[in-house]
Amino acid sequence: MKPAADGAAANATVRARLVALGASNLARGMLSLLDAQRDACGGPIEALAALGHGRSYGIESSLLGRRIGGIDDCGLWQALANRPPAPTTALLMDVGNDLLYGVAVPQILEWVERALQRLQHAERRIVIGLPLATVRTLGHRRFVFVRSILWPACRLSLPEAVRLSEQTHSGLRALSQRYGATFHELPAAWYGFDPVHIRRRHWPHAARTLLEVPAGTPRLQNPIDGPLARLRLLGTAPAERTLFGRPQRREQPARRWQCGSTLAMW
């Protein structure tokens, strides 16, 4: 099967590479991140992403009939090793998902540290902390409602969730310092009733903030992000997954754009 395309991809030289690891926030904001990285380097980029709603950093996860392996053991790492060197930015986010799966904090941090070790060749490594500002202000009813919708099997209490989130957040900060990565705190203003996901209208600004695009950097014409592009991305399959019990494999990159940018997903 041929990779999905958005128009005829131009024969443009890729100027930079973005490696992005995460779950639902990354899936929701991926196209905004692509545009922000394009703006930063002034041209097309190559993006490799391990993402997906409910994605774990180390265990298989399941959502609405789809099963997908953990980020730690996915094909992104081999694909990255096979590629020639390029100016690379690495982004790690959505680490808190594994707390709701009952994974111990030391194990989560071990997966993140292994990712940082594999990404030591990257010029920039960016680690996104947990949204503590929103987690700490959750009431019991709101917490139970969100937990029941997003992680129905989870039985963590609110005090336990806050305590474990703080431990994970501190561990991510320490790992960032150890590996020379930039650590980002997430402002409460980016969130609404949902304490986990950045609101859609804030993503263009959030992407430029998280990727540290210098203020005043002009936005390139013909942005990738948009309602139709997001709908197409929802229907785009990663390299490997199981859907309703049937294994699926898809060639990558999954998306190509006229500007020459590409997105490969695992």
Instruction: Decide: 245 and 53 in contact? Cβ < 8 Å.
Output: no
Predicted local distance difference test score (pLDDT) of residue 153 = 73
pLDDT digits (tens, 9 = 90+) for 62-75: 777 778 999 999 99
pLDDT > 70 fraction of the chain, expressed in percent and rounded: 94
CATH for 16-265 (3.50.50.60, 3.40.50.1110, 1.10.10.10, 3.90.45.10)? 3.40.50.1110
pLDDT band at 5 (very low <50, low <70, confident <90, very high): low
Extract the tokens encoding 51.
């993402």
Which of 14-23, 28-37, 142-151 is predicted with the least confidence, judged by mean pLDDT? Answer: 142-151
Predicted local distance difference test score (pLDDT) of residue 6 = 58
Predicted local distance difference test score (pLDDT) of residue 213 = 96
Chain-centroid distance, C-alpha 163: 23
DSSP string, 14-38: P-EEEEEE-SHHHHHHHHHHHHHHH
Q: Which residue has the tokens 């197409």?
A: 232
Q: What is the overall mean pLDDT for the chain?
A: 90
Instruction: Decide: 48 and 90 in contact? Cβ < 8 Å.
Output: no
Q: Which residue has the tokens 């998306």?
A: 255
**Given phi > 0 = left and psi -120 to 50 = alpha, else beta, which region is 74?**
beta
The ranges assigned to domains in the chain are: 16-265
Task: Give the Cβ contact number of residue 235 at 10 Å.
Answer: 7
pLDDT digits (tens, 9 = 90+) for 106-147: 999 999 999 999 999 999 999 999 999 888 888 787 777 777
Predicted local distance difference test score (pLDDT) of residue 61 = 86
Q: Which helix (H) or strand (E) element contains residue 53?
A: none
More confident residue, 89 or 144: 89
pLDDT > 90 fraction of the chain, expressed in percent and rounded: 70
Please list the residues that pair with 92 across neighbouring strands: 21, 127
Task: Give the Cβ contact number of residue 133 at 10 Å.
Answer: 16
Extract the tokens encoding 223.
């942005």
pLDDT digits (tens, 9 = 90+) for 203-256: 999 999 999 999 999 999 999 999 999 999 988 989 998 888 889 899 999 999
Sign of CA dihedral 201, 91, 78, 240: negative
In terms of residues, how long is the chain?
266
Predicted local distance difference test score (pLDDT) of residue 243 = 83
Predicted local distance difference test score (pLDDT) of residue 146 = 72
Chain-centroid distance, C-alpha 135: 19
